[in-house]
Amino acid sequence: MADLASRITKPEGAEAETAPAQETTGTVEDAQTDGAGQILGGSGLQDVNYDVEVSLNEIQRDQQNPLGSAHTFQELGLPNEVLNGLMAMSFQKPSKVQEKALPLMLADPPMNMIAQSQSGTGKTAAFVTTILSRIDFTKPEQPQALVLAPSRELARQIQGVVQTIGQFCGNLVVEAAIPGNIARDSRVKASVVTGTPGTVMDLIRRRQFDVSQLKVLVIDEADNMLDLQGLGEQCARVKNMLPPTIQILLFSATFPDVVLRYATNFAPQANQIKLKVQELTVRGISQMFMDCPSEVEKYSILCSLYGLMNIGSSIIFVKTRESASEIQKRMEADGHKVTALHGAFEGSSRDALLDEFRQGRSKVLITTNVLARGIDVSSVSMVINYDVPMKGPGEREADPETYLHRIGRTGRFGRVGVSITFIYDKKSYEALQYIAAKYDIDLIRLVPDDWDNTEKKVQRVIKSSRAQAGFNPSART
Ligand SMILES: Nc1ncnc2c1ncn2[C@@H]1O[C@H](COP(=O)(O)OP(=O)(O)OP(=O)(O)O)[C@@H](O)[C@H]1O
Question: What DSSP string describes 105-117?
Answer: HHSSS---EEEE-
Alpha carbons 129 and 124: distance in angstroms, whole number: 8
What pLDDT shows up at residue 470?
59
Spacing, Cα 266 to ligand 1 middle (Å) = 25
Q: Is the CB of 95 under 6 A from ligand 1?
A: yes
**Is the separation of the CB atoms in 155 and 196 below 8 Å?**
yes
Alpha carbons 321 and 370: distance in angstroms, whole number: 10
Amino acid at 9: T
Q: Is the ipTM of this complex over 0.95?
A: yes
Q: Is the CB of 150 under 6 A from ligand 1?
A: no
Amino acid at 194: T
What pLDDT shows up at residue 109?
94
Ligand 1 nearest-atom number relative to CA 476: 29
| Overall pTM > 0.90 | no
Alpha carbons 135 and 79: distance in angstroms, whole number: 10
Domains plus CATH for the chain?
A: 4-35+281-475 (3.40.50.300), 52-275 (3.40.50.300)
* Secondary structure of 2-60 in HEC code, one letter for each residue: EEHHHHCCCCCCCCHHHCCHHHCCCEEECCCCCHHHHHCCCCCCCCCCCCCEEECCHHH
Tally of CB atoms within 10 A around 426? 17
Of 279, 376, 401, 403, which is best to mutate to test ligand 1, by the most ligand atoms within 8 angstroms of its C-beta? 376
Spacing, Cα 92 to ligand 1 middle (Å) = 13
Task: Determine which residue's CA is closest to atom 4 belonging to ligand 1.
Answer: 91
**Is the separation of the CB atoms in 455 and 310 below 8 Å?**
no
Ligand 1 nearest-atom number relative to CA 97: 21
Ligand 1 nearest-atom number relative to CA 374: 27
Question: Among 259, 199, 185, 261, which residue's Cα sits nearest to residue 228?
Answer: 259
Of 46, 73, 123, which is best to mutate to test ligand 1, by the most ligand atoms within 8 angstroms of its C-beta? 123
Q: Is the CB of 413 under 6 A from ligand 1?
A: yes
Q: Is the CB of 116 under 6 A from ligand 1?
A: no
According to DSSP, residue 296 is labeled H
What pLDDT shows up at residue 6?
42
Question: Among 164, 168, 122, 129, which residue's Cα sits nearest to residue 145?
Answer: 129
Spacing, Cα 126 to ligand 1 middle (Å) = 9
Alpha carbons 178 and 312: distance in angstroms, whole number: 31
Q: Is the CB of 376 under 6 A from ligand 1?
A: yes
| Helical ranges in 391-449 per DSSP H | 400-407, 426-439
Alpha carbons 104 and 109: distance in angstroms, whole number: 10
Note down pLDDT in tens along the chain; length 477 residues: 335 544 333 332 332 222 222 222 222 222 222 222 222 233 344 554 556 677 766 555 554 444 456 789 999 999 999 999 999 999 999 999 999 999 999 999 999 999 999 999 999 999 999 999 999 999 999 999 999 999 999 999 999 999 999 999 999 999 999 999 999 999 999 999 999 999 999 999 999 999 999 999 999 999 999 987 779 999 999 999 999 999 999 999 999 998 999 999 999 999 999 988 878 888 899 999 999 999 999 999 999 999 888 888 999 999 999 999 999 999 999 888 899 999 999 888 999 999 999 999 999 999 999 999 999 999 999 999 999 999 999 999 999 999 999 999 999 998 999 999 999 999 999 999 999 999 999 899 999 989 999 988 898 888 887 777 654 434 333
Q: Is the CB of 120 under 6 A from ligand 1?
A: yes
Q: Read off φ and ψ for residue 71, nearest 5 degrees.
A: -90, -15
What pLDDT shows up at residue 69?
66
Q: Is 361 exposed, middle or buried (0-12, 13-18, 19+ CB in 10 A)?
A: exposed
What pLDDT shows up at residue 244?
97
Alpha carbons 324 and 312: distance in angstroms, whole number: 19
Q: Read off φ and ψ for residue 401, nearest 5 degrees.
A: -65, -45
What pLDDT shows up at residue 47?
52
What pLDDT shows up at residue 16?
28
Tally of CB atoms within 10 A around 139? 13
What pLDDT shows up at residue 276?
83
Task: Determine which residue's CA is closest to atom 16 belonging to ligand 1.
Answer: 122
Q: Read off φ and ψ for residue 192, nearest 5 degrees.
A: -120, 130
